[in-house]
Chain A
Amino acid sequence: MSTIIYEIKDGIGYITLNRPEELNAMNDEMLAELDAVLPKAEMDLDAKVIVFKGAGKDFCAGQDLTGVNTNEVLSEPGEHMTIKKRMEAERRRNRRWEYIFNLAKPTIAQVHGHCLGTGCYLSMVCDITIASEDALFGDPLLRMGLLPHMPLWPYLIGIKKTAEMLYTGCYIDGIEAEKINLINKAVPRDELEDEVDKMARGIALMNCDQTAPLKDAVNSVMEARGLGACWRFTNNMQLVMQQRTMPTEEFNFFKVRDKKGLKTAIDERDAPFKNFCEER
């Protein structure tokens, strides 16, 4: 295992995203390893609470956009796949979030640096998110013509803020994220680890047989408000999104990437929004 590190210390399980040079971007390999480690962590009696964190300077910059080894993690528009294959891929994608959301064990996301796109989704499906004040949260998927596909957005931050985050794609820092209820708490960067440890050790005092039903009861409130149907609906909308036509005069992220490279594509993607997001 190389892109995911799993270790247990003092009753706390740590799952570390480990592609620090790529800002811990998620590629297919990381997903596969995540899929392998999650059931293990869930069953592990020695880990009473799971902490997700990122190696190096960032939590996770989201999907790996290189197009190499990313078939599973990134649904590029215009790919030639049958509806059935796409549907299955979308289901796996959202089932994974749903699985982490419902993991029979309390989960904490320890967020620093970039926390974007699917990285942000990972922090959202955890029960508790504690971040450094200078962490950056955001979901710029729509700028690339991809559907932002985390149904927890409106549940956590409300409708207007959801529209704002997804349409502008602007990043917000930890302090702002705490203010809009996206996370539980923002602390100075050098106190982050201590703060998470304190929280995790506190939760680890509790019996697993207490925390699991409690978590289920809390999540069932979301379920009663329709979250289950929202996952499914999101799958369907992903399919629609992939079938859309791309008007030739509009910016096409994937075409630019293939022609001029990833960095240029990201620069061109963000250019119209740069001033706006800075001034905001």
Chain B
Amino acid sequence: MPTGFGWDFKTQYKEYFYEHNDYREWDFQAAVYDKVNDRIARITLNRPDKRNAFNDCMYEDIGAALHKANDDPEVRVVIIRGAGKHFGAGHDLSSPEGEESPPVHPSVNPTLQDYYGFERRRCYKYDDARDYPKITIAQVHGKCIGASQIFAASCDIIIAAEDAQFGIRGFGSQLHGLTEYPLWPLWSNKAYAGHAVTEMSGKETVDCGFANKAVKLEELEKETLMWAETLSHLPSEAVAVTNEWISGMLDIMGMGGAQRAHYHAHTGLQYVRFRPEEVNMYKDKRDKGLKGFLEDRAKTATATSHAKK
């Protein structure tokens, strides 16, 4: 329902985000949908020159692909992977004007209400991926940063390359922790580490229960397909019910509240005032371009990073 504020009101009884997209006429641009065989569908995030960073188009393509796989009664398991060298680098920091994926371009000049709309829509997408009624497996290699990590986390299973890099960067080092995704502490009883550790290898994420298995990069595809093939033998309706059961328990355990806290914090971040010595993405981007910002951020990140090399 349009609200007059530039965003749609979503009721509690919302559609899944992927059900908005009519895949039958869909022109896939940022993601590729294919079927490995009758029972296994695959979504390949396909902006390799941008390290598969998320923009609006990417979210919509993923939505259409998930819808397509869900409507295909043969499909039991959906694999999500990245084209090129990485799974994904998070949000596309170079997104052009008009995009609602963060960072929102200053020209959009959103009201607080608008911003809530953006945030809710985006967080619900992760919820919806989490609630997806078929088994999802994230096949992670290279970088899996920020939003990409959230998307991987929202899948049922993560198979990672041993040297994959999970982590979060934020818009500047002072925001580490704040932008960390609320799934971390719930995901693993051992990893409250999200707040302290900025980067982890695939191997470390398995040790803390965030991912299920880490293998050598050259074995990653084979391993993922083996999991998909095996899990595709489970009774399909029973899988849907079990998935709903697990997701429901997570909601009871506070996942819904954590999502809300996440997008509230994110909205709050829009109004952060930077001190003179701090890295300000918007200012840096304006004065020095995206590359200049990344260089500045890297300097501060090195100083505060706890990542094990």
Contact = CB atoms under 8 A, between A and B. Distances in A.
Interface of A: 142-143, 145-149, 151, 154-164, 166-168, 180-181, 225-226, 229-230, 233-234, 237, 240-241, 244-247, 250-251, 272-273, 276, 279-280
Interface in B166-221: 183, 186-190, 209-213
Interface residues of B, number: 37
Closest 9 CB pairs of A and B: A272-B233, A226-B252, A158-B188, A276-B230, A158-B209, A237-B245, A244-B237, A145-B238, A145-B235
Contact of B231 (A161, A167, A233, A241): A167
B237 A160 contact: no
Question: Most chain-A CB neighbours within 10 Å: which of B157, B209, B226?
Answer: B209
A159 B235 contact: no
B111 to A, nearest CB: 35
B36 interface: no
B113 interface: no
B57 interface: no
B300 interface: no
Given A154-B246, A154-B249, A246 B158 contact: no
Question: Most chain-B CB neighbours within 10 Å: which of A155, A159, A225, A240?
Answer: A159
Interface of B: 135, 156-158, 183, 186-190, 209-213, 226-227, 230-231, 233-239, 241-242, 244-246, 248-250, 252-254
A226 B254 contact: yes
Given A160-B188, A163-B157, A233-B245, 15 more contacts: A145-B238, A151-B249, A154-B253, A161-B188, A161-B212, A162-B246, A164-B212, A166-B242, A230-B249, A234-B245, A244-B241, A247-B236, A251-B233, A273-B233, A279-B226
B101 to A, nearest CB: 25
A276 B226 contact: yes
A263 B232 CA distance: 23
B231 A159 contact: no
A225 B187 contact: no
A279 to B, nearest CB: 8
A229 B183 CA distance: 20
Contact of A160 (B158, B226, B239, B249): B158
Contacts of B249: 151, 154, 226, 230, 233-234
Given A148-B242, A157-B209, A167 B156 contact: yes
A273 B234 CA distance: 10
A234 B253 CA distance: 13
